[in-house]
């Protein structure tokens, strides 16, 4: 474009190009010149720089430039781009005709007016929609909303490819692609487990949208939607590890702004807990921020006490008595390491808190950032260092273990300077600690976790993003160290992540099933039960060479039962038919279904699916 500089040509020549130069095509008339076409088709590579993709669409679409780029591509040349230049290389492009779409507004309404697409420009990568600046601008919610929009509006199931800064996704003519660079590429696909539901344009549900988030050296097949190459740096995940489920009921809000939560979320909490003693756990230095809450408690004649945590008073008799007498806890503060002291059972305060929460099940309310410590681990140093994630400075800390498998991040969209930290934090924590559930929260949103039913109910304007990692089989991470780093860039690889979002406030999120339902499902004696079926664990397990898979169908419906390997590749269809209500026992025999040598010792998965529900379990073959 007009502000082109010599930096890019010089850079390409430094990499070995014989010739490289800028070519500015600022108008439709220039784009339609035969001389422009003749010049472009001599190129071995064309690089489209960043800017505004709508300029490229409106000035180049259906011109000789459009034809020339396709000519170079079809004759073996390389077409590349960054930012807006990469955004126009897909089958469908976000056009930015009416400006950008921000993740928070896309999550509220995937059909917001500025969500406009272009289907007839370049079309270089079949069935793919690209998005860029992915983690640094926290665009996960935006790309997910785009895929939902295209599915509902035109019935097209696109592959969404979100590319981080300083990262490349290099696609070969056969559709295989390799991730290169310092960050990650997030590849979103719609498969048989994914469910989209639209009640009305402003009320939607996205369930189990698959994401393979990959770092440098990983390869992916865009045609078959599958990982094709796993670097030696990858680590296998134990999918049979025990769940660390909630020990007590608790709530986490999307922001630290107390007045915002006192409108709806906190009054609802009060209505659900027994009248008694509200114990506010905070820390010195946060007194002024507590004022709106204290005023509220006084105005509503609530009995409360404040315990200011600090390392010197963790055996204080008055604090211990307050904790022992509490009927609920309210946690708030910005020093997470101090708040987390209440979970240290080497002192009397921690021992009392442990009894009240883990044994007695006393409910808790976390305001915003303080909710991060509800997990077994939490990430910190996000709000003061804008390059924390990029330069490896996020810290991994011990939390309260109230919900061991959860990492939560609040105030995700408050400050764009911290978008990358906020977006990478739960995923990095989940990868490093092998945790199963990440939650992104913002603003007046709140999640209420029910420990007995293992469900989560959300409230508020902006829907939470749930990230399920219970079925990942491999993890990896970036090894790139920027100048000034104390560790590698904190972006990660996790295959087969499942994203869930709903604005339907009648729905619960079922923690172990990673799905939404109006009626919570229950698990009894190891079986999964819904209003569709009961799905039992296979027996025997481990097995050799055969095992029995048992389930009960509650109404006449079409049923599939499939077997997959540890990478998620489908191996066998055991059932694929309409079945009447009743109990079914299916024998899976490795000697009969395939050549016995094709089944090696290891973990396999089997999934039972109906029109509305599906559930996956694991089994172990020992030969």
Domains of the chain, by residue range, sit at 1-47+60-81, 524-621
Average pLDDT, integer, range 323-345: 96
Return the pLDDT at 542: 82
Strand segments, DSSP code E, in 175-270 are 176-181, 185-189, 195-200, 203-214, 219-221, 226-229, 235-236, 250-253
Distance CA 402, CA 351 (A): 14
Distance CA 292, CA 73 (A): 62
- Each residue's pLDDT tens digit, 271-321: 888 678 999 999 999 999 999 999 999 998 999 999 999 999 999 999 999
Return the pLDDT at 1: 47
Q: Tell me the three state secondary structure of residue 184.
A: coil
Report the candidate in 196, 189, 184, 176 with the shortest Cα–Cα distance to residue 139.
184
Q: What is the pTM of this model?
A: 0.83
Residue 201 pLDDT exceeds 70: no
Average pLDDT, integer, range 538-543: 85
- Each residue's pLDDT tens digit, 105-163: 999 999 999 999 999 999 999 999 999 999 999 999 999 999 999 999 999 999 999 99
pLDDT band for position 526 (cuts 50, 70, 90) = very low
Q: Residue-wise over 386-423: b if at least 16 C-beta within 10 A, else e?
A: bebbbbbbbeebebbbbbbbbbbbbbbbbeeebbbbbb
DSSP annotation string for 430-475: HHHHT-SEEEE--TT-EEEEETTTTEEEEESSSPPEEEE-TT--EE
Whole-number percent of the chain with pLDDT over 70: 95
Return the pLDDT at 323: 96
pLDDT band for position 5 (cuts 50, 70, 90) = confident
* Lowest mean pLDDT across 21-30, 235-244, 468-477, 558-567: 558-567
Write out the two tokens for 149. 């929009």
Under 8 Å between Cβ of 484 and 497: no
* Lowest mean pLDDT across 128-137, 189-198, 271-280, 362-371: 271-280
Write out the two tokens for 572. 């066998």
Under 8 Å between Cβ of 575 and 609: no
pLDDT band for position 530 (cuts 50, 70, 90) = low
Return the pLDDT at 540: 87
- Each residue's pLDDT tens digit, 382-432: 999 999 999 999 999 999 999 999 999 999 999 999 999 999 999 999 999
Return the pLDDT at 520: 61
Average pLDDT, integer, range 190-201: 87
Chain centroid offset of residue 94 CA: 21
Under 8 Å between Cβ of 106 and 141: yes
What are the two backbone dihedrals, phi and then psi, of residue 131, each rounded to the nearest 5 degrees?
-135, 150
Return the pLDDT at 593: 67
Average pLDDT for the chain: 92
Residue 527 pLDDT exceeds 70: no
Helix (H) or strand (E) holding 145: helix 140-154
Return the pLDDT at 539: 85
Sign for the pseudo-dihedral over CA of 145, 150, 156, 160: negative
Assigned architecture for domain 524-621: Sandwich (2.60)
What are the two backbone dihedrals, phi and then psi, of residue 292, each rounded to the nearest 5 degrees?
-60, -35
Distance CA 65, CA 87 (A): 17
Return the pLDDT at 524: 45
Chain centroid offset of residue 74 CA: 36
Residue position matching structure tokens 């749930």: 466
- Each residue's pLDDT tens digit, 425-436: 999 999 999 999
Would strands 226-229 and 185-189 be described as parallel, antiparallel, or unpaired?
A: unpaired
Write out the two tokens for 53. 């993709």
The answer, yes or no, to whether the previous bond of 623 is cis (omega within 30 of 0) is: no
Residue 545 pLDDT exceeds 70: yes
Residue 66: which residues within 8 A CB-CB, separation 6 or more? Answer: 31, 60, 121, 122
Report the candidate in 437, 404, 448 with the shortest Cα–Cα distance to residue 271.
448
Return the pLDDT at 240: 87
Return the pLDDT at 541: 83
């Amino acid at each position: 474009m007009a502000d082109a500089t010599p930096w890019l040509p010089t850079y390409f020549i430094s990499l070995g190009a014989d010739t490289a130069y800028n070519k500015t095509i600022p108008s439709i008339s220039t784009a339609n010149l035969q001389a422009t076409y003749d010049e472009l088709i001599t190129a071995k590579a064309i690089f489209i720089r960043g800017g505004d993709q709508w300029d490229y669409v409106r000035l180049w679409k259906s011109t000789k430039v459009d034809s020339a780029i396709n000519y170079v591509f079809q004759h073996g040349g390389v077409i590349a781009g960054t930012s807006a230049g990469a955004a126009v290389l897909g089958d469908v492009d976000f056009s930015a005709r009416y400006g950008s779409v921000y993740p928070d507004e896309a999550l509220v309404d995937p059909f917001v007016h500025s969500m406009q697409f272009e289907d007839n420009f370049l079309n270089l990568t079949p069935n793919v929609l690209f998005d860029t600046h992915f983690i640094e601008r926290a665009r996960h919610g935006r790309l997910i909303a785009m895929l939902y929009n295209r599915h509902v509006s035109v019935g097209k199931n696109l592959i969404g490819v979100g590319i981080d800064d300083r990262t490349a996704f290099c696609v070969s003519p056969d559709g295989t692609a390799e991730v290169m660079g310092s960050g990650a590429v997030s590849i979103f696909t719609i498969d048989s487990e994914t469910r989209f539901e639209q009640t009305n344009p402003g009320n939607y549900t996205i369930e189990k949208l698959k994401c393979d988030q990959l770092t440098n050296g990983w390869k992916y097949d865009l045609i078959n939607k599958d990982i094709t190459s796993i670097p030696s740096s990858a680590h296998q995940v134990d999918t049979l590890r025990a769940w660390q489920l909630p020990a007590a009921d608790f709530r986490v809000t999307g922001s630290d702004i107390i007045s915002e939560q006192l409108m709806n979320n906190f009054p609802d909490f009060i209505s659900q807990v027994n009248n008694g003693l509200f114990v506010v756990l905070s820390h010195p230095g946060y007194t002024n921020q507590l004022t709106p809450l204290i005023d509220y408690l006084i105005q509503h004649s609530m009995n409360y006490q404040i315990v200011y945590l600090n390392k010197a008073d963790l055996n204080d008799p008055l604090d211990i008595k307050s904790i022992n007498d509490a009927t609920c806890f309210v946690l708030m503060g910005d020093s997470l390491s101090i708040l987390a002291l209440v979970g240290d059972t080497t002192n009397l305060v921690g021992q009392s808190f442990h009894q009240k929460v883990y044994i007695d099940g006393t409910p808790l309310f976390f305001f915003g950032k303080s909710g991060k410590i509800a997990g077994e681990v939490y990430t910190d140093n996000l709000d003061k260092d804008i390059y924390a994630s990029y330069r490896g400075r996020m810290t991994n800390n011990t939390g309260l273990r109230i919900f061991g498998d959860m990492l939560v991040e609040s105030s995700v969209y408050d400050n764009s300077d911290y978008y990358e930290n906020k977006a990478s934090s739960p995923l990095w924590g989940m990868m490093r600690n092998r945790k199963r559930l990440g939650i992104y929260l913002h603003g007046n949103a709140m999640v209420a976790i029910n420990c007995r039913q293992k469900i989560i109910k959300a409230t508020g304007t902006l829907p939470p993003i749930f990230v399920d990692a219970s079925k990942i089989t491999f993890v990896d991470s970036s090894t790139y160290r920027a100048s000034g780093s104390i560790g590698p860039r904190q972006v990660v690889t996790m295959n087969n992540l499942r994203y869930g979002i709903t604005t339907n406030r009648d729905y619960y999120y079922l923690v172990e099933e990673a799905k939404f339902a109006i009626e919570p499902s229950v698990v009894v004696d190891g079986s999964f039960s819904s209003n569709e079926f009961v799905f039992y664990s296979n027996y025997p397990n481990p097995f050799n060479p055969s095992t029995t898979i048992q389930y009960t169908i509650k109404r006449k419906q079409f049923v599939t039962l499939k077997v997959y390997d540890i990478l998620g590749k489908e191996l066998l269809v055991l059932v694929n038919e309409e079945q009447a209500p009743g109990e079914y026992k299916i024998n899976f025999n490795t000697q009969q279904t395939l050549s016995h040598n094709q089944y090696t010792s290891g973990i396999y998965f089997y999934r039972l699916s109906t029109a509305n529900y599906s559930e996956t379990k694991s089994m172990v073959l020992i030969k």
